[in-house]
Amino acid sequence: MALFDSQLPIVIVILLILLSQSMKIVREYERVVVFRLGRYSGVKGPGLFFIIPIVDRVQLIDLRVVTIDVQKQVVITRDNVTVDVDAVIYYRVMDPAKAVIQVENYRVATALLSQTTLRDVLGQIDLDDLLSKREELNLKLQTILDRHTDPWGIKVTAVTLRDVSLPESMMRAIAKQAEAEREKRSRIILADGELQASKTMAEAAALYQHAPVAIKLRELQTLAEIARERNLIVVTSGADVGSTAGLVAALQKAVEETGGERRA
């Protein structure tokens, strides 16, 4: 009895140690994968749960969204242009058991898969599409990565191409191309304006041809507008002033003679 009483504190200490080793607490965003004698036993958490010390082995998995900063990758596009592209990958663990059993290290595997997929996908498109179709490329990369990581219990939530770095020579070439395109559009607009103006002038000339007096009235109207501005401008008439004056005098004389005959 005395021997048992002397060993009782030791037994109590051992029991307390075993109890502390068997109690586990995990947070809301964490799960624990339990292996009992090397075999998968289940997923525990969140909160308080118990395991069998020595017999059970546990591995903690974080369920929060993880961000992968994919460093700059040298990519050769389909039109043989070398660019540096970096991206950001967002993913989370959906199935803790698969993330532990199906892949050795799901973080490293997802990061390396992101790099290779980025180079493969961007190498199949032209530079113009890479610069202008960012949203489509992001969605395509997300779909491919999600399909490959699904057996690992990983869900890729988003992919974002962050930066596309071009060589200095290519940037100058693109600037020249943009400038030439703008000049082309300006010349087309100018030529279209000239065409419309020439059509309007041709229609006006046809109208003046049928009514010669109208062009004279237009000329007088233009002179009146110049006079209102009070500018010192000398304007020469396109018509023969002497002939016009002679016609006016002859018309006046004819009118006077007609009036005299009527009185007689």
Residue 122 has pLDDT above 70, yes or no: yes
Exposure string (b/e) for 208-247, b if CB count within 10 Å is 16 or more? eeeeeeebeeeeeeeeeeeeeeeeeeeeeeeeeeeeeeee
CA distances from 169 to 78, 127, 176, 177 (A): 18, 14, 11, 12
Residue matched to tokens 């967002």: 90
Distance CA 127, CA 137 (A): 12
Neighbours of 100 (CB within 10 A): 22
Q: What is the pLDDT of residues 48-77, one digit of tens each?
A: 888 888 888 999 999 999 999 998 888 888
Q: Is the pTM of this model over 0.75?
A: no
Distance CA 65, CA 88 (A): 12
- What are the domain boundaries of the chain? 16-62, 66-166
CA distances from 100 to 35, 79, 183, 253 (A): 11, 41, 60, 119
Over its C-alpha atoms, the chain yields an Rg (Å, rounded) of 46
- The strand pair at 39-44 and 66-76 is best described as unpaired
Higher pLDDT, residue 206 or 254: 206
Mean pLDDT for the chain? 81
pLDDT at 179: 78
Q: What is the pLDDT of residues 75-111, one digit of tens each?
A: 888 888 889 999 999 999 999 999 999 999 999 999 9
Q: Of 86-100, 111-125, 143-157, 240-254, where does mean pLDDT reach its minimum?
A: 240-254
**For the residues 114-120, what does the mean pLDDT come to?**
92
Query: 10 falls in which pLDDT band (50, 70, 90)?
Result: confident
Asked if 32 and 59 count as a contact pair (C-beta separation under 8 A), the reply is yes
Q: What whole-number percentage of the chain has pLDDT above 90?
A: 36
pLDDT at 88: 94
Higher pLDDT, residue 218 or 249: 218
Distance CA 225, CA 214 (A): 17
Domain 66-166 has CATH 3.90.950.20: no
Residue matched to tokens 């229609």: 203
